[in-house]
Structures are given as C-alpha cells and as structure tokens.
C-alpha cells in the first residue's frame, strides 16, 4: 500500500520547488499518542519530492504537520482525509479513530490519510479518477452507513466494495438516489467540495455540496453601512465555517450574506442568538439592544451569536495567588485597539485567582481550568501555579491565558561565521554576549559585531546560558524568527547591530548606526501564507504607523523587492513575479521593525 500511495500523491505534486529549510517532518496533536506535547516523526519516503510517510493509530481528534521539531514551519487545513496544508493553518480534523497510512508533501503541503475500509468511491470526478478508490469512513452507530468529505470535479462516480468491481453501486440520479448493482455511473455535474453518505444495505446515497464562501458580511439598517455597505466578518483560523467580527448594532434590521452579494443570504430568528435560514426574514434589533457586539456566525449550522461588549472602566485580577490577595485586586492594562482585551505581567504564588470588573464583584469571571480557559460569571476560582506570567483576558468572551515567562541570565551569539570563527567547545570562550534591556528582560542587543560570510555547513546561532539546551536558529538573514534547534543563520560578511527577542525568537541584523527597536512578530498578520500572487499585511501596533517600508528577503538575505505604504487597514504586496520559496517579510519605519516568515508557492 505504501508504494501505491507514493505514486498517487506524487502525481499531484507536479510543480514544486525544494524547501531547503525542512530537514524533518512529524505529525502532532490531540489525535496522536503524544498529544500536543510530543510529535510522531514521519519517514522520508521520496527525497526528490520531499514526500513523508507514516503508519499510525489516531483518535478522532485533531492533528497538524510540522517541520524540524518546532512550530516555525507547520501545516494545517480543515480538509480530511486529503487536502493541502498551509503555513499556520487550522488543525486537521480526524474523522474516525483507527489505523492510518499518511503521506505528506513538504513542498506543496498536500496530504492523504489512507484508511482501510470495505466501501470506497471511484470515478472521473474523484481525485484519483478510475484508477484508485478513496475509502469511506464507517458510521459509528450504524455499520451499514459510510461517509466522507471530498473535493470532486465534473464527471462521474460509483461506489464499490473491497476495491473490486464484483460488487458496485450506481444510478443516474444526483445528488441523491439509490445505487444498484452494476448501475449507471452517478453524474457529478459541478465541481466542488461534497459531504457524501452511502448505505451499503439499501444503496442509498447523498451528495451534499459544501460551499466555500470567500467572504461573509452583515448588512442592514441596524449596521453602520445600512443596506448599501456590509460590515465584513473574518473567518476563524480554527474552523473554516465560523466567521467573527466586532460590530456596532443600532435599532433596525439586518441579515448575513455571502460573497458581498444577495445570491446567498440568511435571516430569521431572534436577536442576539438564534439559528438563521436561507428563507428567513430580516433580524430585528430594538433600541435597548443597541451597542457594540462580538458576533459569531456559523455557515454550516447557521447559528449566530452576538455577545455584547461591555465598556468596563477597569479589569483586575484578585485572589490569594496575586500580590494583593483577596483584599486588593491588581489592575490589568486595556488593549489600545480592542477594549475587550486586557493584559498584565505579574509574579504569582501558588493559590487561586479570579477576574473582576470595576473593582467590584458584580461582574466576575472564574473557571477550574489553568493555564487557559473560559471564565464564566461567578465561576470557580482559577487554580494558579506559582510563576511569572503574561496574562491575557477577554472581558467579552471570558477567555483567558496565563503564559509563563522564561527569563535568561545570558544570551550569546555563536558560530563559525561569528567573531571567533569557530563553534564553541565546553566553555563560553567562543560566545559573544548580548546585552539585556533593563526595561524588557526578553529584549537583547549588541551595538556592533563583525561577521564573516557563512562557510559550508556553517553559520551562526543564538543560545541561552552558554549551553545548547536552549538555542535559536533559522536560515533567514538579516531578519528572521529563530526556533529551538533551528537551522544555522546564513549570514553575510559585515559589521552589524543585533536585536534579539528571547520570548519569540525574532532577530534582526542591521547597520550599527540604525536606531530602531525590534518588535515581536505577533504584532503583524500576513495572509494568505503560503501566498501565490499577493501578500496581505495587517499591522496591529501603534509602533508602526504612518509610512512604513515592506522589504522581502530570500533565505540568503538578498533583498527581492521593497515598497512603501501608508498604514491604513490592510496593505498588499504583489508577489506574482517572485519565484516559489521561503522568504522573510520585514516591516519597518524609522523607529521600529518586525519580521515574519512567508512561503510563496506557484
């Protein structure tokens, strides 16, 4: 089966460019034995095509692919059992528990989870044509029923048993019908993604098209744009069916619609939460319901929910785990762009804590989960483990996260392209130490360092405490995001100022006279990633305002293109003329810069 799978996936990977940054691939997630903590390595089955193979037992949960035992390069998608993973994409949902043979291409992101099953679908409309069945998954409660979600093209299909023609079902009816032995091919008139069900005892089948919307918006007299201009929602990164946004709702009416047109729209039900329908009327909002809301709409279940965003004067954390105990809360800092988001860095002791609003108990949130969870009104006290934390709390959804802060005493630069011309031995005599920022323990700088051109099998890396237990690397230069045990940084000879962040791995090498500060890469979003023609850049920090410069570097540090744009919404960079490969996009002004890895495909 392994060789047959290799042939099938190889046929899909016709156009490719080698991904030099990938040295290993593994699968990780709640669907694996190691969970999200321990990855399961895959076997390199074809070096030329960078195809990886694994035979493994999975549970009905979620998985992702990642490279180099780190999260810097990872792939995910909503499709199963076959699809194309994208950098930083959503978790892949495993349909049923069982043994799988998995194939994955580190070049294209394409994957296939093969599951042994007696019932399959075959035909010119299916991904492998008339040459190979794609097996359906058994229904957990009815052994006669099977299901799968597949992309189909215009053509024909049939169901058959045990990959043989001795028992097969077909019919001329679509999208539903009753297949009979040696019946006619089932016509598939339109390409699309389909949810397919089949009953082997009756021959009944159904093809339900799953429409992939490009955009979802809310429109109507209850919205800021009235009936002329919709308010766009944003697709949730973890569930392609869920769309979210923050909207101001006033007295009036509204509907949801797809792709900025009235071809598909939904209404009906009662504000603020209900289930819409295609035939539903306008959703009414009364004057006393007006306000700012966090809206969620699921295009599959059609359930919508509006959570009112309360304008709290303050949010604090309180409890015997906090500095003020149960008597005095510790104030959190409100996000400048989102009044629902509150942050705090604080030292906590072992104990309990809760969040509350306006220095009072009228609004308070708690949960039994730690370090992350969703607090509810008058919920349980949050059990806290002692430590230094960066805390984030959403006062609209109740979601919270305690991120443990790890601080280092020493960060150094090492490598045979560095000042000492060789890698360190058992001591720190070949470490070049950076200086810790007294106001930010994760920000490290060096005013001037002279580097050599990277020799063969060489380069430079950052490491902590003059030891290899914690080290950061990436092939990108002069800017990039280093990862644990990442590749050597491929530097170019010259004298540079260094900025490095030990909390994110972000680094930058620049002219010694430059006066910028290095920002964390999480202040920008780049999508799609991988990209084919256009990179969309969303900047979420006041430190990068006005005119900024976007510069694209290849992994050798060579500048590919640069442009200046005004920060106002989402900026775009045309990369249709850039060859496929791994790149770093740097965004900078005269005071700050940030960099993020991107993958361009063709």
Query: Which domains does the chain carry?
Result: 2-115 (2.60.40.3620), 119-210 (2.60.40.3620), 216-308 (2.60.40.3620), 315-404 (2.60.40.3620), 411-517 (2.60.40.3620), 520-600 (2.60.40.3080)
The structure's pTM equals 0.51
The pLDDT mean for the chain works out to 88
Q: What is the pLDDT of residue 238?
A: 62
Q: What is the DSSP string of 236-248?
A: -SS-TTEEEEEEE
584 with 509: CB under 8 angstroms? no
Nearest to 535 by CA among 583, 574, 481: 574
Q: What is the DSSP letter of 4?
A: H
Class of residue 18 by CB neighbours under 10 A (exposed 0-12, middle 13-18, buried 19+): middle
- Render pLDDT for 179-238 as a digit per residue (tens, 0 to 9): 999 999 999 998 888 999 999 999 999 998 887 788 899 999 999 999 999 999 988 766
More confident of the two residues 254 and 14: 254
- Render pLDDT for 86-127 as a digit per residue (tens, 0 to 9): 887 888 999 999 999 999 998 888 999 999 999 999 999 998
Q: Residue range 41-66: average pLDDT?
A: 90
Q: What is the pLDDT of residue 370?
A: 93
602 with 532: CB under 8 angstroms? yes
Strand-by-strand arrangement of the 524-527 sheet: 524-527, 534-539, 570-574
Distance from C-alpha of 505 to C-alpha of 443, rounded to nearest angstrom: 10
Distance from C-alpha of 395 to C-alpha of 408, rounded to nearest angstrom: 32
Distance from C-alpha of 447 to C-alpha of 449, rounded to nearest angstrom: 7
Nearest to 8 by CA among 82, 77, 74, 65: 82
Strand blocks (E) in 319-404: 330-331, 333-334, 341-348, 351-357, 364-366, 372-374, 376-377, 382-384, 387-394, 399-404
- Render pLDDT for 363-382 as a digit per residue (tens, 0 to 9): 999 999 999 999 999 999 99
pLDDT of 242 > 50? The answer is: yes
Q: Return all residues near 482 (Cβ < 8 A) that are at least 6 apart.
A: 461, 462, 472, 473, 474, 489, 500, 505, 506, 507
Q: Residue range 247-264: average pLDDT?
A: 95
Strand blocks (E) in 39-126: 40-41, 43-46, 51-58, 62-67, 74-76, 82-84, 86-87, 92-93, 98-105, 110-115, 119-122
Q: How many CB atoms lie within 10 A of CB 581?
A: 18
Q: Return all residues near 523 (Cβ < 8 A) that are at least 6 apart.
A: 539, 540, 541, 543, 544, 594
Q: What is the pLDDT of residue 557?
A: 62
Q: What is the pLDDT of residue 248?
A: 94
Q: Residue range 564-593: average pLDDT?
A: 81
**How would residue 167 be classed by pLDDT, with cut points 50, 70 and 90?**
very high
Q: What is the pLDDT of residue 555?
A: 62
**How would residue 10 be classed by pLDDT, with cut points 50, 70 and 90?**
low
User: Above pLDDT 70, what percent of the chain?
Assistant: 95
The angle formed by the CA atoms of residues 402, 403 and 408, to the nearest 5 degrees, is 145
Q: What is the pLDDT of residue 18?
A: 44
pLDDT of 138 > 90? The answer is: yes
Class of residue 356 by CB neighbours under 10 A (exposed 0-12, middle 13-18, buried 19+): buried
Q: What is the pLDDT of residue 569?
A: 64
391 with 332: CB under 8 angstroms? yes
Q: Residue range 327-336: average pLDDT?
A: 91
SS3 (DSSP) at 406 = coil
315-319, 497-501, 558-562: segment of lowest average pLDDT: 558-562
Q: Residue range 394-401: average pLDDT?
A: 93
Distance from C-alpha of 246 to C-alpha of 538, rounded to nearest angstrom: 16
- Render pLDDT for 531-572 as a digit per residue (tens, 0 to 9): 778 888 888 787 887 788 888 887 656 778 888 887 766 788
77 with 85: CB under 8 angstroms? yes
Q: What is the pLDDT of residue 17?
A: 42
Q: Residue range 151-177: average pLDDT?
A: 96
User: Above pLDDT 90, what percent of the chain?
Assistant: 56
At 323, list the tokens.
């500095």
DSSP-based helix, strand, coil % in the chain, nearest 5: 5, 50, 50
Q: What is the pLDDT of residue 586?
A: 84
Q: Residue range 464-492: average pLDDT?
A: 86
Distance from C-alpha of 17 to C-alpha of 109, rounded to nearest angstrom: 12
Q: What is the DSSP letter of 185?
A: P
Q: What is the pLDDT of residue 187?
A: 96
């Amino acid at each position: 089966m392994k060789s047959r799978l290799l042939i099938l996936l190889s046929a899909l990977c016709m156009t490719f460019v080698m991904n030099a940054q990938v040295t290993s691939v593994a699968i990780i997630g709640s669907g694996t034995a190691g969970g999200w903590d321990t990855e399961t390595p895959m076997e390199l089955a074809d070096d030329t095509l960078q195809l990886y193979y694994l035979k493994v037992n999975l549970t009905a949960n979620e998985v992702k692919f990642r490279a180099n035992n780190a999260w810097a390069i990872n792939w995910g998608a909503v499709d199963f059992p076959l699809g194309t993973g994208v950098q930083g994409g959503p978790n892949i949902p495993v349909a049923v528990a069982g043994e799988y043979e998995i194939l994955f291409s580190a070049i294209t992101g394409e994957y296939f989870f093969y599951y042994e099953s007696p019932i399959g679908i075959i035909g010119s409309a299916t991904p492998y044509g008339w040459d190979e069945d794609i097996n359906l998954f058994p229904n957990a409660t009815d052994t006669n029923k099977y299901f799968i979600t597949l992309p189909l093209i215009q053509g024909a299909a049939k169901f058959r048993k045990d990959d043989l023609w001795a028992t097969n079902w077909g019919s001329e009816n679509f999208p539903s019908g009753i297949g009979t032995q040696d019946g006619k091919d089932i016509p598939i008139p339109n390409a699309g993604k389909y949810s397919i069900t089949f009953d082997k005892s009756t021959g009944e089948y159904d093809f339900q098209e799953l429409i992939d919307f490009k955009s979802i918006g809310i429109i109507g007299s209850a919205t800021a744009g009235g009936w002329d201009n919709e308010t766009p929602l944003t697709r949730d990164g973890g569930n392609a069916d869920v769309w979210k946004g923050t909207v101001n709702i006033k007295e009036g009416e509204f509907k949801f619609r797809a792709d900025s047109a009235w071809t598909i729209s939904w209404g009906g039900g009662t504000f603020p939460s209900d289930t819409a329908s295609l035939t539903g009327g306008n959703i009414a909002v009364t004057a006393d319901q007006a306000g700012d809301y966090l809206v969620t709409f699921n295009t599959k279940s059609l359930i919508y929910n509006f959570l009112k965003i309360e304008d709290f004067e303050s949010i604090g954390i309180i409890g015997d785990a906090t500095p003020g105990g149960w008597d005095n809360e510790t104030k959190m800092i409100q996000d400048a762009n989102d009044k629902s988001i509150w942050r705090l860095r604080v030292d906590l002791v072992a104990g309990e804590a809760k969040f509350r609003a306006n220095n009072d108990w009228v609004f308070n949130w708690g949960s039994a989960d730690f370090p992350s969870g969703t607090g509810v009104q008058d919920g349980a006290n949050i059990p806290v483990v002692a430590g230094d934390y960066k805390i984030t709390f959403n006062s609209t959804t109740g979601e919270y996260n305690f991120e443990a802060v790890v601080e280092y005493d020493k960060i150094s630069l090492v490598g045979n392209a560095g000042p000492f011309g060789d890698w360190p031995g058992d001591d720190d005599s070949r470490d070049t130490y950076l200086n810790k920022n007294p106001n930010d323990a994760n920000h490290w700088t060096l005013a001037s360092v002279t580097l050599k051109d990277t020799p063969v099998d060489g380069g430079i890396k950052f490491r902590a405490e003059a030891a290899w237990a914690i080290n950061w690397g990436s092939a990108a230069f002069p800017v990039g995001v280093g990862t644990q045990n990442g590749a050597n940084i491929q530097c170019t000879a010259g004298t540079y100022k260094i900025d490095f962040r030990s909390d994110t791995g972000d680094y930058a090498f620049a002219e010694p006279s430059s006066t910028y500060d290095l920002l964390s890469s999480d202040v920008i979003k780049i999508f799609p990633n991988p990209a084919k023609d256009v990179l969309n850049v969303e900047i979420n920090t006041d430190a990068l305002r006005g005119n900024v410069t976007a510069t694209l570097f290849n992994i050798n540090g060579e500048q590919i293109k640069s442009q200046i744009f005004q920060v106002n919404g989402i900026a775009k960079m045309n990369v249709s003329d850039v060859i496929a490969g791994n790149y770093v996009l740097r965004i900078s002004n005269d005071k700050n810069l940030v960099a993020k890895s991107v993958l361009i495909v063709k």
